[in-house]
Chains A and B, each alone.
Chain A
């Protein structure tokens, strides 16, 4: 099955700086890569996703890049704000008709005011 590695496990940045979280996946045929944000005690919420036919996607201060050759994808948050503090999870959907998302173990982002 798919295996997703996520780094770093914790990340602290100063307010206004950029944050980058990286994930690698094992199944070269995986074709859907969502990112979720989870605030303490809350549900995971989708913040951005990308499909394998696209190399980059941007939504205001958030962007995701995908490198299919290297089998890795990254989340970029620019101009970080204290409300960006949360745990972020990447995931990959297995190939074919699979319904399974395999999640990384999460990155705890702390934005220091």
Chain B
């Protein structure tokens, strides 16, 4: 049982490049989330998908887009990467609101 799987694990981009971070879960969860983690800032919600076919903005959505491809997969896209988007990105899933969220191993993204 893999849980939440994120790819890639590491990535280095140049300013202005685009990239899609992939996330898949095998727990049959309805809800999926994207967070970024910066030193001293905790985890901040970028976007979430309450259920298949829906997406909503979180606390820090600017510069990102998401796609809930199906119930298993939720991708995060950076259209024009900026150095301020250097961070560790975590995907998570839960059965529904107010239920425990399970996290993936994260993607460490550096933008030069």
Which residues of chain A have a CB within 8 Å of any CB of chain B?
Answer: 1, 6, 31-32, 34, 42-46, 49, 51, 89, 91, 93, 97-106
Contacts and interface: CB of A to CB of B under 8 A. Distances in A.
Given A43-B90, A103-B44, A32 B103 contact: no
B53 interface: no
A100 B48 CA distance: 8
B90 A99 contact: no
A101 B43 CA distance: 9
Nearest to B43: A103
A34 B43 CA distance: 13
A56 B90 CA distance: 29
Contacts of B104: 43
Contact of B56 (A6, A43, A45, A99): A99
B97 A89 contact: no
B97 A99 contact: yes
Interface in B5-41: 31, 33, 40-41
Given A99-B33, A105-B41, 16 more contacts: A34-B101, A43-B103, A43-B105, A44-B90, A44-B103, A89-B43, A93-B97, A99-B31, A99-B48, A100-B45, A100-B48, A100-B59, A101-B43, A102-B59, A104-B42, A106-B42
